[in-house]
């Protein structure tokens, strides 16, 4: 396969240095203004991704900018936002542990700024679909503009909808992804949308939310209920000065997963409680000397 050439309307990842990076849509005849000069899009169109461009006027500015093809992780960090967004490492875990991939049908609530929506939309191509809902008009507007910017409108719908109260009428959904304040309140209502063996994913910043969500998943017969937290450390790699970066994000959130199953009581092996499963009236396990 040949090089990917930059065309008009492409989204590019423009990098001046480690702190100054932008996601920009290329417009024919247009330009992008920075404090280090102007990037003329006509200087970029027709060049392969991975090229460099110099800011104008060349004589007084002439700074070097790198032009890369955006990765899903770039969408998240450099997309304009209105709400707290999901970080790339958490999105990666969500993808791998939910099984979301080409062809998956997914419900998402809420879409927020659409950062996670863009990542999910990117991975369900070419024949999957993300049905994304939110109750805030501002979020819906921002998410839609980010989806259009990422050119994912054929794989994603952004709609007003309250997942706690409305009936969306979906069936045979592969995965439901919740990033909203009270995910536990949605579980009973939405489990009917999921196909058997489908995954429910919930991202929450606090342990209090996780406990309520896990308990709701258990009550609703979900299986393989697990919660994870990822801590990412970036490294500065320099001759004689290689070590973890001094500043890091200490906490993003917890991700809880569950699988929908059709549970049936085992008619062949009746489970008898083990000794340590007997509890006394205050909820403590009974020790053997307390049994008689």
- Pick from 31, 43, 89, 162: which binds ligand SAM (CB under 6 A)? 162
Q: Is 179 in the site for ligand SAM (CB under 6 A)?
A: yes
Q: Candidates 32-40, 174-182, 233-241, 255-263: pick the segment binding ligand SAM (CB under 6 A).
A: 174-182
Nearer to ligand SAM, 65 or 131 (CB): 131
- Pick from 133, 184, 254, 257: which binds ligand SAM (CB under 6 A)? 133
Q: Is 84 in the site for ligand SAM (CB under 6 A)?
A: yes
Q: Is 136 in the site for ligand SAM (CB under 6 A)?
A: yes
Q: Is 189 in the site for ligand SAM (CB under 6 A)?
A: no
- Pick from 37, 72, 112, 258: which binds ligand SAM (CB under 6 A)? 112
Q: Candidates 93-101, 135-143, 147-155, 268-276: pick the segment binding ligand SAM (CB under 6 A).
A: 135-143
Q: Candidates 15-23, 55-63, 129-137, 218-226: pick the segment binding ligand SAM (CB under 6 A).
A: 129-137
Q: Candidates 66-74, 128-136, 226-234, 280-288: pick the segment binding ligand SAM (CB under 6 A).
A: 128-136
- Pick from 92, 164, 211, 227: which binds ligand SAM (CB under 6 A)? 164
Q: Is 113 in the site for ligand SAM (CB under 6 A)?
A: yes
Q: Is 73 in the site for ligand SAM (CB under 6 A)?
A: no
Nearer to ligand SAM, 34 or 84 (CB): 84
For residues 210-229, one letter each, b for 16 or more C-beta atoms within 10 angstroms of the residue's C-beta and e for the rest, the string is bebbbebbeebebeebebee
- Pick from 53, 115, 200, 201: which binds ligand SAM (CB under 6 A)? 115
Q: Is 85 in the site for ligand SAM (CB under 6 A)?
A: yes
Q: Give the number of other CB atoms < 10 A from CB of residue 265.
A: 6
Q: Candidates 67-75, 81-89, 151-159, 219-227: pick the segment binding ligand SAM (CB under 6 A).
A: 81-89
Angle subtended at Cα 147 by Cα 146 and Cα 151, rounded to the nearest 5 degrees? 115
> For residues 27 and 45, is the Cβ–Cβ distance under 8 A?
no
Q: What is the DSSP string of the chain?
A: --PPBP-TT-EEEEESSSS-EEEEE--TT-EEEETTEEEEGGGTTTSBTTEEEE-BSTTT---EEEEEPPPHHHHHHHS--SS----HHHHHHHHHHHT--TT-EEEEE--TTSHHHHHHHHHHTTT-EEEEEES-HHHHHHHHHHHHHTT-TTTEEEEE--TTT------SEEEEEE-SS-GGGTHHHHGGGEEEEEEEEEEESSHHHHHHHHHHHHHTTEEEEEEEE-----EE--TT--EE-S-------EEEEEEE------SS-PPPPPGGG-B-TTSPBPPGGG--
Q: Is 147 in the site for ligand SAM (CB under 6 A)?
A: no
Nearer to ligand SAM, 139 or 214 (CB): 139
Q: How many residues does the chain have?
A: 292
Q: Is 14 in the site for ligand SAM (CB under 6 A)?
A: no
Structure tokens at 70: 């955006």
Q: Is 204 in the site for ligand SAM (CB under 6 A)?
A: no
Binding site for ligand SAM (CB under 6 A): 83-86, 109-110, 112-116, 133-136, 139, 162-164, 179-181
């Amino acid at each position: 396969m040949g090089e990917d050439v930059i065309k008009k309307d492409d989204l590019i990842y423009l990098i001046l240095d480690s702190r100054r990076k932008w996601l920009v849509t290329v417009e024919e005849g247009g330009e992008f203004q920075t404090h280090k000069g102007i990037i003329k899009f006509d200087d970029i169109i027709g060049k392969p991704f991975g090229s460099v461009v110099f800011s104008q006027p060349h004589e007084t500015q002439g700074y070097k900018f790198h032009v890369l093809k955006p990765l899903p992780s770039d969408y998240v960090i450099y997309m304009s936002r209105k709400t707290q967004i999901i970080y790339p490492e958490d999105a990666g875990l969500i993808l791998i542990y939910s099984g979301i991939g080409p062809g998956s049908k997914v419900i998402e609530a809420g879409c927020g700024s659409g950062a996670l929506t863009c990542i999910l939309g990117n991975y369900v191509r070419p024949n999957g679909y993300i049905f994304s809902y939110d109750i805030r008009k501002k979020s819906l507007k921002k998410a839609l503009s980010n989806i259009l910017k990422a050119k994912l409108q054929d794989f994603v719908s952004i709609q007003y909808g309250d997942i706690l109260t409305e009936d969306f009428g979906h069936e045979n959904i592969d995965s439901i992804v919740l990033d909203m304040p009270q995910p536990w309140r949605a579980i009973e209502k939405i489990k009917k949308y999921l196909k058997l063996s489908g995954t429910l994913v919930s991202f929450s910043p606090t342990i209090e939310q996780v406990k309520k969500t896990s308990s709701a998943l258990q009550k609703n017969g979900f299986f393989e209920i697990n919660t994870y937290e990822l801590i990412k450390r970036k490294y500065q790699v320099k001759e004689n000065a290689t070590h973890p970066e001094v500043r890091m994000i200490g906490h993003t959130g917890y991700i809880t997963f569950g699988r929908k199953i059709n549970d049936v009581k085992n008619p062949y092996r009746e489970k008898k409680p083990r000794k340590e499963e007997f509890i006394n009236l205050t909820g403590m396990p009974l020790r053997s000397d307390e049994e008689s």
